[in-house]
Structure 1
C-alpha cells in the first residue's frame, strides 16, 4: 500500500475525530457559558477572542511564510537552510512577544475606555483579556514548533494537539465554575493552562520528529533568512488584518453602539460559525501539505487540480451543512441557546451564509502563499475591510439603534466577505493559472445553488416535520443532511472528482 495514501487516510480520519470533538464542544460549550454567565457578561468573551485573533495574524503570517521556505529547504535536503529559517522564526517570535507585552497590558489596564463594559464585571474582564493575551503568547511558540509536523504531513499528530486544545479549556472552565466561582477570570485562566499543556505537547513532538541535522539555536539565526520571512509575513499580516476587518468587526461595532447583549448574541452565532469553519480548516490542512509539496516539486498541474477539486468539494459539503442549519434555524437556535434567542434566527442565518464561500476560498489562499504572491490580495483585502468598516460604522452612527440596522450591518459584512474571500482570492488564483476563471465562477454557482436549494427545502420541511420531540427533530435534520450531501456531490462532481474522493475515503490504494 502506498505510504502517501496511508498517511493521507490517517490524516483524514484524525481530521474527522478532531472535527467531531470540536463540534461537540461547540454545541455544548457556548450555551454553557451563556447560561452560566448571562448574555451580557458572555458578550465580553467574543471581544477577548477578537483581540486574540488580531494579534494572532502574526502567528498565521509567520507560520505560513516559514512553512513555505522550510518545506522547500526540506525537499532539497538543505538542512542548513532549514535550520536557519526555523531558528530565525523562533527568535523573531520571542522578540515579537517582548515588543507586544507592554502595549498589550497597557491596553488591558484601560480596556474600559475601548469597549463598553459593565462596571460589575470590569475587574474580571481585565483578567480575562490579560490571560487571553498570555495564552496567545504561548500559542505563538507552539505554532513555530508545530511547523515540523505540518511539513512532514503528520496532520494526525497535529490533530491530537487540536483535540487536546479543544477539550482541556472547556473542561477546566467547568471545573473552575463548579469548584471555585462563576467568573470571567477563570475562562482566561483556563486558556493559559490549556496553552501551556499544548506547548509541552508541541515540544515533545518537535523533539521526536525533527531531522537530527536540523538545529534550533541562536547560532543559526540568519539575517538573510529573516528578511525573506519578514517580507512575506508583512503582506500576509496585512491580508489577515483585512480579513478580520470584514469577518469580526461587527461584534465590536455592536458593542460600541448597542450593548454587550447584542454583541453577545452575534458573538455566540459567530462562535458557531467558527466551530463549523473548523471543517474547512481540517480539510484544507489535509491537502495543504500536498499542494505545497506539489508546488515545491514544480508540478503545477497537480496544484491546479487539487485546488479546484477540493475547493468545490468543501464548498458543497459546507453549503449542505449550512443550508440544513438555516432551514431548521428556529429549532437549532432554540435547542442550542434557548428560547430567548429564537427571535434572532435571521442574524443566525446571515452569519452562516458566508461559510461555504469562505471555506472554499481557503485553497486559493494556500496557492497564493505557496507562490509568495500575497501583496496584491493583501492590499485589496485591506481596501475591502476599510470599505466594510466605513459602511457599517455609518449605519451604526446615523441609523436608529434598531434590529433592522443590525440586519443591514450583517448584510453589508456578508457581501464584502463573499467578494473578498471567494472572488478576490479565486480571481487571483486564475491569474496564476490561466484558463481557470470559468471553473472558479462555475464552482461558485454550484456552491450557491446547493446552499439555496438545501436551505429552501429544509425550511419547507421544518414547517411540517419539526415538533416537540427533540430526538425526532435531530434525526430528521441528520437524515436530510445525509441525503443532500451525497446527492449534491453526485450531481456537481464529475466522474474523475467522484472517483478521487471515493479513493481517499474508502480505498486502500
Structure 2
C-alpha cells in the first residue's frame, strides 16, 4: 500500500504506536534512576549534613511543589491545543499557541520571582533553621525555587516533545536534571564540604542544563515553531 493512500490519521496512529516501546523503556529507566538516587541520596545527606539540616531539603522542595501544580495545569492546557495544531499540520496556529504560551509563561515567571526571593530571604524567620545554617538555608530555598521556575519556563518546550509523543525525550530531560543535580552535589560536597547552599546551587545547575537540552530537542523534533 502506498503511503499516499493511507489516511493521515492512520499514519499518525502508526507513528505513535511505533514510538510506544521507546516511551515504555524510557519510563522504566527514568523510574529506576529516581529509585536508585532516592535510596542512596537520603543516607548520604543524613551522614554529611545531619538530620536537622537534611530536613530543610524536603521542606524547600515541598514548597515549590505547589508551583509545580500550577505548572502542570498550564502545561496540560497548552499541550492539548499545541498537539492538535501540530498533528493537523496547522503550523501557523501552532506558532500562535506556542508564542502565546511562551510569553504567558514568561510573565507568570516574572510575577512569581519576587515571591520566590521573599520566601527565600524570610526562610530563617518562617522556619526553624539550625543555628549557623541561616545563610545557607536562604541560598538553598532560593536555588531550589529558582530551579523550579526555570523548569516551569522551559516546560513550554517540553510540551512540543509531548505533542509528538516523544515521551522518551521528555524522560531524558527529566533524568538529566536529576543526574546533574546529584553529580553537582557530590562534586561540590567533595570540593567544599557539605553545605545546604551547595544543594541550592546543584538544583539550579540541573535546571539550567535540563532546560537547555529541552530547548535543543524541541527545535530538532519540531523545527516549525519560532
The residue aligned with 2:181 is: 169
Matched, 1:115 2:127: yes
Which string of whole-angstrom CA distances, capped at 9 and with x for unpartnered residues, describes residues 448-490 of structure 1? xxxxxxxxxxxxxxxxxxxxxxxxxxxxxxxxxxxxxxxxxxx
Secondary structure class of the residue paired with 1:120: coil
- TM-score, normalized by length of structure 1? 0.41
Does structure 1 retain, via aligned residues, the 8 Å contact 2:173–2:211?
no
Match status 1:34 vs 2:56: no
Q: Which residue of 1 aligns with 2:147?
A: 135
Q: Distance in 2 between matches of 1:70 and 1:47?
A: 34
**Counterparts of 1:103 and 1:85 in 2: how far apart (Å)?**
27
In structure 1, how many angstroms separate the alpha carbons of the residues matched to 2:158 and 2:112? 22
CA shift digits 1:208-251 (9 cap, x unpaired):
11142x33xxxxxxxxxxxxxxxxxxxxxxxxxxxxxxxxxxxx
Distance 1:94 1:170 in 2: 28
Give the aligned CA root-mean-square deviation in angstroms. 1.4
CA–CA separation in structure 2 for the residues paired with 1:118 and 1:32 = 19
Cα displacement string for residues 396-453 of structure 1 (whole angstroms, at most 9, x for unaligned residues) = xxxxxxxxxxxxxxxxxxxxxxxxxxxxxxxxxxxxxxxxxxxxxxxxxxxxxxxxxx
Change (3 A) 1:200 1:211: closer
Provide closer, same or farther for how the CA distance between residues 110 and 3 of structure 1 changes in structure 2, counting only shifts above 3 A.
closer
Instruction: Verify the 8 A CA contact 2:161 2:218 in the aligned structure 1.
Output: yes
Larger Rg: 1
**Which residue in the other structure is 1:186 paired with?**
198
Contact 2:56 2:137 in 1 (8 A): yes
1:405 corresponds to: none
Structure 2 CA distance, aligned partners of 1:121 and 1:87? 42
Distance 1:104 1:5 in 2: 42
Stretches of structure 1 that go unaligned for 5 or more consecutive residues are 216-509
Q: For 2:22 and 2:114, locate their aligned partners in 1 and report how far apart those are by CA, in whole Å.
A: 43
User: Does the 8 A contact of 2:116 with 2:146 survive in 1?
Assistant: no
Structure 1 pair 82/3, CA: closer, same or farther in 2 (3 Å)? closer
Structure 1 counterpart SS, 2:186: helix
- How far residue 131 of structure 1 moved from its aligned partner, in angstroms, is 0.9
Once the two structures are superposed, residues 10-55 of structure 1 have per-residue CA deviations (whole angstroms, 9 ceiling, x without a partner) of 1111111112211111111111111111111111001100121112
Q: What secondary structure does 2:139 align onto?
A: helix
**1:397-408 alignment to 2 at 5 Å?**
none
**Structure 1 outlier segments of 4+, above 3 Å:** 2-5
- Over 3 Å counting, the alpha-carbon distance change for 1:91 and 1:3 in structure 2 is closer
Alignment of 1:18 with 2:30, yes or no, is yes
CA positional deviation for 1:195 = 0.8
Q: Does 1:47 align with 2:45?
A: no
* Residue pairs, 1:376-395, within 5 angstroms: none
Alignment of 1:96 with 2:108, yes or no, is: yes
Q: Unpaired runs of 5+ in structure 2?
A: 1-13
Does 1:75 find its partner at 2:87? yes
